[in-house]
Every structure is written in C-alpha cells, then in structure tokens.
C-alpha cells in the first residue's frame, strides 16, 4: 500500500510532527511511504523518503524539493508541461496541534476528495479544544476531571484548592502547562499559558494519580490497543514528550484487573463511536477511587501510538479499507430548470 504521510504545519508542535513522521519509516515497513511536508508558512513539499531526516527541515533544505499544489483528487507537481499527480492510496494526517488537529486539514481532505486517516472536522473541533472535550464527554456519560475555565481578560482568581495544573485550552505536548502549588505562583503560570493561548483550563493536580492510556479505532470491528500505564513523573514536559513521540517498539500492558480494563475500554468506545470514525485516537484516563475519568483526547497521538498495538501496520491498512464515506449528492439543476421554464411561459 502507498501511504502519504502529511506532517509539519503551522503549529507549536511542528517539530514533534517531524519526529512522528520519521518514526513511521520504522513502523510501516511493508508500505510504500510518500512524505508530504507542510512548511511553517503552509506550503506543501514532496520529501524524498530515502533522504528524510530532522536536519533536512531545520536547515531549510526541504525547500529544494518539489513544491506541491492541492487540487481535486490529490496533490500535484505543476510544471510547464502540465500537472502530475503524486501517487498514493490514502493519506495519514500526522500534523500535531494547529492545522492538523483543529479541523483545517480534515476539511481540506474532504473537500478535495482525498481518502485520509484522521478525525473529521466535527471531531477535530471538539477534541482540539479542552473545554469542548469536557462538554462532549459529559454529554456521552463519560466523567471528566473537575475544572475551571479562565480567559486572558478574566479576573485571575480560582476557587479550587491548590495544587492545580494550568493547561492552555488548544495545545498538547505539555506546552504552556504548569503545576501551581500555591496562590503566589498562579500569576506566573497564567502568564506562561497565555503566551500560547487566550484561554486556559484549571484542574486539580492529583499527586500520584493512576493514569492509563487507551488507543484504538473501528475498522469493521473494534481494534483496541493494550491499556498502558505511562511512565509516571510529576508531569512530562515538552522535551520528554518530544522523545516519547519517537517510540516505535511495543510497550507492556498495564497491570490492572479485567473489570478496570473493561471500564476504560467502554469509556473509550463511548468517546470514539461514531464521532471519530476514520481515525486512530488515544484517550488518557485517570482512575480516582475506582472511578474512570477522562483526562484528554489525543486526536493525533505521537507516532500514532503505534507502540500500543501488536499489528499497527495491518490495522492502518484495514482502517483505510473502511473509511467513512461522504454522501454523494446528485446536483441535477431541476429547480433552476423549472424556474427558467416558468419564465419562458410567462
């Protein structure tokens, strides 16, 4: 199968996307990969699969590659002799953060009729914004962590007890995230967060909370990953998550009983189906006093959470064969014809 890997973008997580894309070479070994890079100024470039490495992008060498145009049906190389389509069977969206996770890419792929693996527009909008994620989960009967919401121009006051964790509403990878242990630290943490976003979520910081990750998708059946208990530190900063996104070897399943595993997986299924059909997502859960709480939805997880699946490449191929189909609308202009006919009779 020939899979186009779309990565980069105008995002604070641009470099993480590059790491995820390079990792796919080690993971999708049976597939032919076609790399399409979205530059920080949102230009498309065809990247030589044999030459892809991080220096290619940091040095700006990618600009020597073929620039692409997005048109109906795919990406094209334009020349004085016409346009030539870039050949691939389907596209895997690996743009983390803005552009890739906020619905822009999903909308473009749907508009130009390109088969793609990624959350669709509505799912992107709801999972990219942490506040909307809370609304979605609560509407589906999935409990979330208690929170407060602050905008940049609001009074800097919270009602919950310290310590708390401050998160920009529209960012991942721990960018702009701070743990605040007392009131004197709140202003600085908000200053940091507001450098990246105009809105923040404030949640209680629960020391030593049990955290579990569940990834998966629905092809013609449920394909769920192992339940992972991630490495526990106070929280993973940007640099640690950057390295985490290059993982390509499978990890061990969490040591939990079947009842808790079932609770986590049922919560994942409620979130996923039907909104996230056509995508591979990861949900991060907390377990507090035996209760499963959704922490975050990762709509495009680092390296697609490949390390959680025993047959990641096979699952990707099966998902490509079972992507949601957009309704084909027949436009026959009957209404306009009837108006024209009526005018002709007048």
* pLDDT at residue 172, as a whole number: 73
Q: Is residue 236 part of a domain?
A: yes
Helix (H, G, I), strand (E, B) or coil at 86: coil
Q: CA dihedral in degrees (100, 102, 106, 111; nearest 10)?
A: -120
Mean pLDDT for the stretch of residues 204-212: 93
Both 199 and 211 in one domain: the answer is no
CB atoms under 10 Å from CB of 233, counted, come to: 8
What does the pLDDT look like over 220-250, one tens digit per residue?
A: 999 999 999 997 665 555 555 555 556 666 7
**Residue 200 maps to which CATH number?**
3.30.1490.20
Judgement on whether residues 200 and 216 belong to the same structural domain of the protein: no
In this prediction, residue 196 has a pLDDT band, given cuts at 50, 70 and 90, of: very high
- Give the pLDDT of residue 125: 95
Supply the pLDDT for residue 337: 92
pLDDT at 109 over 80: yes
Q: What CATH number does the domain containing 107 carry?
A: 3.40.50.20
If asked whether residues 138 and 284 sit together in one domain, one would say: yes
Q: Which domain holds residue 242?
A: 126-144+207-321
For residue 193, pLDDT beyond 70: yes
Is the residue at 175 inside a domain?
yes
For residues 4-28, give the mean pLDDT. Answer: 96
Residue 265 and residue 130 share a domain = yes
Distances from the Cα of 309 to the Cα of 3, 84, 158, 306, angstroms? 19, 36, 40, 6
Instruction: Give mean pLDDT, residues 197-209.
Output: 94
Is the same domain home to 218 and 271? yes
Is 288 part of any domain? yes
Does residue 241 sit in the same domain as residue 299? Answer: yes
How far is it, in rounded angstroms, from Cα 117 to Cα 28? Answer: 14
Predicted local distance difference test score (pLDDT) of residue 36: 98
Asked, for residue 80, whether it belongs to a domain, the answer is: yes
Q: For residue range 35-86, list pLDDT tens digits in order.
A: 999 999 999 999 999 999 999 999 999 999 999 999 999 999 998 888 999 9
Q: How many CB atoms lie within 10 A of CB 246?
A: 14
pLDDT value at residue 14: 96
* pTM attached to this predicted model: 0.91
**Residue 111 to residue 193: CA distance in whole angstroms:** 34
CA angle 322, 14, 10 (to 5 degrees): 90
Q: Looking at residue 239, what is its pLDDT?
A: 59
Mean predicted confidence (pLDDT) in 109-131: 97
Mean pLDDT estimate for the chain = 93
Q: How many CB atoms lie within 10 A of CB 205?
A: 18
Q: What is the model's pLDDT at position 242?
A: 52
Mean pLDDT of 5-10: 98
Q: Is residue 329 part of a domain?
A: no
How much is the pLDDT for 250?
Answer: 74
Tell me, yes or no, whether 226 and 294 share the same domain: yes
> Both 198 and 221 in a single domain?
no
Q: What was the pLDDT predicted at 150?
A: 96
> Could you tell me if residue 344 is inside a domain?
no
Q: Taking each helix axis as running N to C, give the angle between helix 130-139 and helix 121-128, from 0 to 180 degrees, rounded to the nearest 10.
A: 110
- How many beta carbons lie within 10 A of that of residue 192, not counting itself? 16
pLDDT at residue 260, rounded to an integer: 97
pLDDT tier for residue 115 given thresholds of 50, 70 and 90: very high
Is 292 domain-assigned?
yes
pLDDT the model gives residue 80:
86
pLDDT at 89: 98
pLDDT score, position 289 = 92
pLDDT band at residue 214 under the 50/70/90 scheme: very high
- Residue ending a domain, among 100, 118, 136, is 118
How far is residue 183 from each of residues 6, 108, 206, measured CA to CA in Å? 43, 44, 17
124-133, 155-164, 172-181, 265-274: least confident range: 172-181
- Given this model, what pLDDT does residue 44 score? 98
Q: Indicate whether 154 and 245 sit together in one domain.
A: no
CATH of the domain at 228: 3.30.470.20
Determine the pLDDT at residue 12. Answer: 92
pLDDT exceeds 80 at position 340? yes
Report yes or no on 188 lying in a domain.
yes
Rounded-to-integer distance, Cα 321 and Cα 300, Å: 19
Q: What percent of the chain has pLDDT over 90?
A: 87
* Whether residue 240 sits in one domain with residue 131: yes
What pLDDT does residue 295 have?
Answer: 95
How many structural domains is the chain composed of?
3
User: Do residues 17 and 73 share a domain?
Assistant: yes
Do 131 and 107 sit in the same domain of this protein? no
């Amino acid at each position: 199968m020939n899979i186009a890997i779309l990565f980069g973008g105008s995002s604070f997580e641009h470099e993480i996307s590059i790491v995820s894309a390079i990792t796919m070479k080690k993971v999708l070994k049976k597939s032919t990969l076609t790399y399409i890079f979205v530059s920080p100024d949102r230009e498309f470039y065809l990247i030589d699969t044999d030459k892809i490495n991080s220096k290619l992008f940091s040095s700006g060498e990618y600009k020597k590659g073929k620039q692409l145009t997005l048109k109906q049906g795919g990406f094209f190389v334009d020349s004085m002799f016409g346009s030539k389509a870039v050949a691939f069977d389907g596209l895997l969206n690996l743009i983390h953060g803005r552009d890739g996770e906020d619905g822009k890419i999903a909308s473009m792929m749907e508009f130009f009729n390109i088969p793609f693996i990624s959350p669709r527009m509505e799912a992107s909008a709801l999972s990219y914004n942490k506040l909307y994620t809370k609304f979605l989960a609560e509407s589906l009967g999935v409990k979330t962590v208690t929170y407060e919401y602050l905008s940049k121009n609001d009074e800097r006051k919270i009602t919950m007890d310290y310590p708390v964790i401050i998160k920009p509403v529209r960012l991942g990878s721990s960018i702009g995230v701070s743990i605040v242990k007392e009131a004197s630290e709140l202003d600085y943490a908000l200053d940091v967060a507001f450098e990246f976003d105009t809105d923040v979520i404030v949640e209680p910081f629960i020391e030593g909370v049990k955290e579990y990750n569940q990834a998966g998708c629905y092809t013609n059946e449920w394909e769920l990953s192992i339940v992972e208990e991630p490495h526990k530190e106070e929280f993973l900063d940007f640099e640690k998550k950057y390295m985490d996104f290059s993982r390509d070897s499978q990890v061990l399943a969490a040591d939990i009983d079947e009842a808790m595993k079932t609770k986590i997986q049922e919560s994942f299924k409620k979130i996923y189906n039907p909104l996230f059909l056509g995508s591979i997502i990861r949900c991060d859960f907390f377990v507090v006093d035996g209760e499963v709480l959704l922490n975050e939805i990762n709509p495009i997880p680092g390296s697609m959470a490949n390390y959680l699946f025993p047959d990641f490449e096979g699952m990707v191929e099966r998902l490509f064969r079972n992507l949601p189909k957009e309704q084909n609308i027949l436009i026959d202009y009957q209404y306009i014809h009837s108006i024209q006919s009526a005018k002709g009779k007048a």
